[in-house]
A and B are shown apart, each in its own frame.
Chain A
Amino acid sequence: MPTVVLMDVSLSMTRPVSLDGIEEFQRKNLAVHGLNMLFEHMASNYRLEFTALMAFSSLWELLVPFTRDYNALQEALSNLEDYDKTCLELALQGVSSVVQQEWGNGCPCQVVLVTDGSLGIGKGSLRHSLQTLKHRGDDKKFPLPYPFPTKMFILCIANAEELQMTDAMENLEELLRLSGGDGQIFTVDGPLCMKSVQAMFGMLIDRAYSPFHAVLHCGNLSSDVQVFPRPEPVVVDEEVEPIPRAVSTEVDEVGTGATDELEEEPSASQMAGKSPNFCVLLHGSLKVEGMVALVQLGPEWFGMLYSQADSKKKSNLMMSLFEPGSDPLPWLGKISHLGPVSEAAENPYGEDDSKSPFPVQPQVKRSYAQNVTVWIKASGLQTDVQKILRNARKLPDKTQTFYKELNRLRKAALAFGFWELLKGVAELLERECTMLPDSAHPDAAFQLSHAAHQLKLASSGDSQYAAFDHNIVPMHTDFSS
Chain B
Amino acid sequence: MKMFSVAHKTVFVVDHCPYMAESSRQQVECDVLTKSRAQGVIPLAPVSKSLWTCAVECSMEYCRILFDVYPKDKLVNYIVSDSEFHILNTWRREDQSTHELMSALAAVGPPNPREDPECCSILHGLVAAVEALCKITELQHEKRTALMDTAERVANRGRIICLTNAKSDTHVRMLEDCIQETISEQNKLAAGSDRLMAIQQCDLVLVHIYPQGEETLVSDRPKKEISPLLTSEVHSVRAGRHLASKLNILVQQHFDLASTTITNIPMKEEQHANTSANYDVELLHHRDAHIEFFKSGDLHMAGTSTRENGVKETMTLKWCTPRTNSIELHYCTGAYRISPTDVNSRPSSCLTNFLLNGRSVLLEQPRKSGSKVISHMLSSHGGEIFLHVLNSNRSTLEDPPSISEGCGGRVTDYRITDFGEFMRDNRLTPVAESSHDPSGKLPVERAKGQLERYTRYWPMIISQTTIFNMQAVVPLANLIVKELLTEEDLLTCQKTIYNLVDMERKSDPLPISTVGSRGKGPKRDEQYRIMWNELETLVKTHAGATDRHQRVLDCIIACRSKPPEEEERKKRGRKREDREDRTEKNGSKEAEDKSWQESERLKGLLEKEDQESEVIKDSPDSPEPLIKKPRLISEDVQPPERAKGPATLLSMWTNRITVANSRKHQEFFGRASSVNSKFELYQHLKEENGIDTHENGKAAR
Contacts and interface: CB of A to CB of B under 8 A. Distances in A.
Interface of A: 1-2, 48-50, 100, 102-107, 147-148, 218-221, 229, 238-241, 252-270, 272-286, 288-289, 291, 293-294, 308, 310, 313-318, 329-344, 348-349, 353, 357-362, 364-369, 371-383, 385-386, 411-412, 414-421, 424-425, 427-428, 431, 435, 461, 466-469
Contacts, number: 400
Contacts of B388: 263
Contact of B400 (A100, A253, A314, A343): A314
Given A314-B401, A339-B428, A281 B68 contact: no
B105 interface: yes
Contacts of A353: 424
Contacts of B334: 265-266
A241 B68 contact: no
Interface stretch (B49-57, B210-218, B219-227, B631-639): B49-57
Nearest to B452: A219
Nearest 9 CB-CB pairings of A with B = A359-B382, A339-B443, A277-B408, A417-B110, A219-B455, A104-B393, A468-B106, A273-B406, A219-B451
Interface string B79-123: 000000000000000000111011101111111000000000000
B447 A339 contact: yes
A382 B329 contact: no
A365 B356 CA distance: 11
Given A147-B296, A338-B428, A368-B68, 13 more contacts: A219-B451, A219-B454, A255-B428, A256-B423, A340-B427, A342-B425, A360-B382, A369-B383, A374-B342, A376-B57, A414-B109, A417-B53, A424-B30
A344 B58 CA distance: 45
B409 interface: yes
A48 B426 contact: no
B433 interface: yes
Contacts of B29: 378, 382
B339 A366 contact: yes
Contacts of B443: 336-340, 343
A378 B28 contact: yes
Contacts of A259: 329
A344 B429 contact: yes
Interface centre among B1, B109, B451, B458 (most CB of A within 10 A): B451
A368 B340 contact: yes
B50 A1 contact: no
Given A281-B415, A372-B64, A362 B383 contact: yes
A353 B424 CA distance: 9
B447 A338 contact: yes
A145 to B, nearest CB: 10
Nearest to B244: A376
Interface residues of B, number: 136
Contacts of A272: 400-401, 403, 406
A134 B153 CA distance: 35
Contacts of B344: 371-374, 380, 383
Contact of B448 (A106, A254, A273, A417): A254
20 contacts: A104-B292, A255-B451, A261-B381, A268-B331, A270-B397, A284-B419, A293-B423, A336-B443, A357-B429, A357-B430, A359-B381, A366-B339, A368-B348, A372-B344, A373-B344, A374-B344, A375-B28, A385-B31, A417-B53, A424-B31
Interface centre among B8, B392, B403, B458 (most CB of A within 10 A): B403
Interface string B402-424: 11101111010011110110111
Contacts of B333: 106, 266-267
A416 B107 CA distance: 10
B430 A367 contact: no
Interface stretch (B40-48, B544-552, B644-652): B40-48
B442 interface: yes
Nearest to A274: B407
B384 A280 contact: no
Contact of A415 (B102, B155, B416): B102
Interface in B456-511: 456, 458, 460-461, 482
A257 B416 contact: no
Nearest to A2: B396
Contacts of B394: 102-104
Interface string B665-683: 0000010000000000000
B460 A281 contact: yes
A371 to B, nearest CB: 8
A230 B379 CA distance: 30
B416 A374 contact: no
B573 interface: no
Contacts of B155: 241
B420 A316 contact: no
Given A263-B330, A362-B382, A289 B423 contact: yes
A445 to B, nearest CB: 18
B491 to A, nearest CB: 20
Nearest to A240: B3
Given A220-B452, A239-B139, A308 B400 contact: yes
A253 B451 contact: yes
A381 B383 contact: no
A381 B446 contact: no
Contacts of A373: 344
Interface centre among B3, B58, B343 (most CB of A within 10 A): B343
A103 B343 contact: no
Contacts of B416: 281, 284-285, 288
A349 B421 CA distance: 13
A342 B483 CA distance: 11
Interface centre among B101, B143, B340, B430 (most CB of A within 10 A): B430
Contacts of B32: 382, 385-386
A376 B62 CA distance: 11
B460 A277 contact: yes
B105 A241 contact: no
Contacts of A262: 329
B433 A337 contact: yes
A229 B393 CA distance: 17
Given A48-B400, A255-B428, A263-B388, A340 B446 contact: yes
A278 B429 contact: no
Given A260-B327, A288-B416, A330-B382, A341 B403 contact: no
Given A100-B296, A368-B352, A424-B44, A343 B446 contact: yes
A293 to B, nearest CB: 7
B401 A278 contact: no
B641 interface: no
Given A103-B393, A289-B424, A316 B5 contact: no
Nearest to A311: B399
Nearest to A237: B5
Given A255-B451, A263-B335, A415-B103, A241 B296 contact: no
B458 A367 contact: no
B407 A273 contact: yes
A417 B335 CA distance: 38
B68 A340 contact: no
B323 interface: no
B71 A339 contact: no
Nearest to A108: B396
Contacts of A425: 30
B460 A278 contact: yes
A431 B382 contact: no
Interface string B106-146: 11111100000000000000000000000000010001000
Nearest to A390: B34
B391 interface: yes
B2 interface: yes
Contacts of B381: 261, 329-331, 359
B456 A255 contact: no
A255 B394 CA distance: 32
Contacts of A318: 397, 400
Interface centre among B107, B295, B429 (most CB of A within 10 A): B429
Nearest to B335: A263
B313 to A, nearest CB: 18
B618 interface: no
